[in-house]
Chains A and B, each alone.
Chain A
Amino acid sequence: MKLLLVTRTQRPEGRVAQTRKTIEVDWVRVGRNASCEIHLPDARVALEQGMIVNRDGLVYLEGEAGSQDITRKSVRSVRMKPGEPIDVGPYRLEAIPAPEGYDGAVSVEKARDADVAPDFASRVSRTTLRSIGMTKRRAAWISIFVIAVLFFLVPAGRVLDLPWREAAMTLGIGDRFWNPGPLMLGHQPIAAKCAACHEVAFQQVKDRACLKCHEKIGEHVAPAMHPAALFEGARCASCHREHKGAKATHRDDDGMCIACHRDIHAKARDAKSGNVSDFAKAHPKFRLTLPTGGHGLKFPHAVHLDRKGVKSPGKGRVVLECASCHKPDSSGRLMQPIRFEKQCQECHRLDIEPAVMAREVPHGDPAAVAAMIDEFYANLALKGTRDSFQKAFGVPGEGLLRRAGAASEGEREDALRMASRKAAKVTAELFDVRVCATCHEVSHAKDWKIAPVRASNRWMPGARFDHKAHASAKCADCHDVAMSKTLRDVSMPSIETCRECHAGSAPTEKKVTSNCLLCHGFHDPRYTWGADAK
């Protein structure tokens, strides 16, 4: 068969180009295979889709769908006629009048869009993180927004009085996240109320906020002594930094004390304290607070601490120890003051005349003592039994009112005169010799007088001392009174005694490191803050 193949191609500009080709084969294969006589390069065409044969005219045959074997049963058989094109994939095949010398002629043109390979480059556009829509800017803005709202706008609602104040407060997260650290134990109950201390936004906490509760806290020195420049700018918070932990209240070293007390007179001309920079190296000697005008008591420690004991009225000889009289107070820090009734009276009885009757005078009131003795003997003279009457007055008889019959006025006066004489004698003896004078200075002008007793219980009021903390030491280590015959022997320890165990601020072997605050406090409760505190 000799076939003319006319391929029509639509050019972009619209013109139709034609190529002509003569094919001489028995049958003409149609397919996308390059070896096909009618080569239709398109994915929509099968490799060898069909063929054209000459059976008294051109016939187009196709095998089973998808089959490449044309000997199989034909499924399509079309006689090709001009004006009746057949579609093979996107191509259109049509018989056209055959020129001279040809068995037939076929035109081929593309009826639909060409099957072109997609351009790879045009599909490669999303190759970077930015190109797939990831932006840093959005993440940055979102994070700024979240932090600003959550950690600033909401918490600041209350303190800056923003419109959402109430809402922010009911939310409860409030300014909790602004708290920079745990409060001192005592302040923890008000931890959620920032405004209790932080009264005004953007202003430092004022002393008056502290003094609302701590009204009893003392100033350091008497307000009159305040050299204006000295404490200028100092606030409670200068030393007391809050939000620094449950137990942290202030710094515990000497730096801030010594800053002034190294040369205290340069800071405060009238200061009564001496210069100090370290307990071990530079600390003034202890100055005791002694009663002015004498102590007024006769008390030999030596007699009371006699190893052989002292005579007691009821228990024979009793060996006394320090603790027999000196008892710690309830805090254990200091000793209770000595009281006659508690510590002395058991031995030092205030008997009027023990041989007659066990009766003691009251302690501390000379007039009452004299009156009581008067009454005692008057009573004996009037109502005394025969025995006591005789012992008291040294003459036989009995109380006037015990005798038979009514006593005459004269007898009464006699009896009372006798009683009064005896009372005067006993009173003088009790005050001057037997009882009072044992311990007291007694004088007798118009009335009996006892010199005032001025016992000191706080010898060093400027220092904090804790007996309990020193319980491992013996009393005599610090208070050596065993040989003392008079109360004029003051037996408070000297600084040297303390230094035997206490070092200064620098740690020292076998000694207690001792800084200022170990013994001294800053606040003096005698000097309360004035109403003008800022």
Chain B
Amino acid sequence: MRHYSILEYASFRWFKAAIALVATASAAYLWHEPPLKPYGGTWLGYTLGTVGAILIVWLMAYGIRKRRYASTVGTVQGWLSGHVYLGTALIVVVTLHTGFELGWNVHTLAYVLMLLTVVSGMYGVFVYLRVPGAMTSNLGEDTLDAIVLRVGDLDREMREKAMSLPDTLFALVDKSVHGSRLGGSLQRIVSGADPKCPTAAAIREWPQHAKRLTGDAAKLDKQVFGLLLQKNQLLERARRDLRYKAILDMWLYFHVPLAFMLLAALVVHVVSVFIYW
């Protein structure tokens, strides 16, 4: 079955709606004859501003809707599709609302926050179009939980076998068993790597300690080293998975607080404008 992205939802229904909104706003702007020059305080300015404010509130309501699993007000897919397209159209509506009048004030602050929020959202769309594919090719049929369990199994097996290996090698294995980490800090989660990973270190140092072994010990050493390699590969895949998930999450840490900042600035903008009407 072909996968339909949210961008194509309902044969581009929201794309068409956004185009219609942008076209209407632009046409009105071109046709309008303001008393001095275009700005937010003409009747068209008030209209565009009202449309923009309602849009912002609606766009933020997506955050509520997507948590209401029982809701039947549209589908979450549809809401997201509209969120993406109308959010993009918001740039045009609000820019026309400003009449290109910008300055060092709370009004332009709201405008800039709106731009930042939308741009971070666009990055989010980009990420959601790209990253899931990479995640699938990284994990395949596996899940992170399964990988973690397998690492645990490897640890047990490896340690048991390494008991019969010389202390230096056993120490490497033991460090790998005790010290290997997944995530734990922002830097490690986002980079998808752990430069101090004891498993990778064990693999690096193994040959120089193992080359003098002979007989049964040499055989055992090969087995343990193989297990270490397997473990390291699993860890790398798991770390990539954490990184991908973090990328899918990370932009929201900008998008959501920016949106709330925008909401606050928007309220201040509207109230202050009417205090000094």
Which residues of A come within 8 Å of B, CB atoms?
32-35, 41-43, 46-47, 66, 68, 117-121, 123-124, 126-132, 134, 136, 139-144, 147-148, 151-152, 155-156, 159-160, 175-182, 194, 198, 201-205, 238-239, 241, 244, 248, 250-251, 255-256
Contact = CB atoms under 8 A, between A and B. Distances in A.
A216 B149 CA distance: 89
Per CB-CB distance, the 7 closest pairs between chain A and chain B, nearest first, are A140-B260, A139-B257, A127-B183, A143-B261, A120-B152, A147-B264, A241-B36
Contact of A121 (B35, B148, B276): B148
B185 interface: yes
Contacts of B216: 35
Contact of B272 (A120, A126, A128, A178): A178
Interface of B: 33-37, 39-41, 101, 103-107, 109, 144, 148-149, 151-152, 155-156, 159-160, 163-167, 170, 174, 177-178, 180-186, 189, 216, 242, 245-246, 249-250, 252-253, 256-261, 263-265, 267-268, 271-277
Q: Which of B163, B252, B257, B274 has the most CB of A within 10 A?
A: B163
Contacts of A250: 36
A181 B103 contact: yes
Given A128-B189, A201-B275, A203-B277, A32 B106 contact: no
Given A144-B260, A244-B36, A33 B183 contact: no
A202 B274 contact: yes
A203 B170 CA distance: 82
B164 A33 contact: yes
Given A202-B275, A244-B37, A126 B183 contact: yes
Contact of B260 (A43, A124, A128, A143): A143
B264 A143 contact: yes
Contacts of A43: 163, 170, 174
A208 to B, nearest CB: 15
A47 B167 contact: yes
A144 B36 contact: no
B180 A177 contact: no
Contacts of B267: 152
Given A121-B149, A144-B260, A127 B249 contact: no
11 contacts: A46-B167, A120-B152, A121-B149, A128-B246, A129-B189, A134-B253, A152-B271, A155-B272, A180-B101, A181-B101, A239-B35
Given A128-B183, A147-B261, A152 B165 contact: no
A41 B160 contact: yes
Contact of B163 (A41, A119, A123, A177): A41
Nearest to B245: A128
Contacts of A128: 183, 189, 242, 245-246, 249
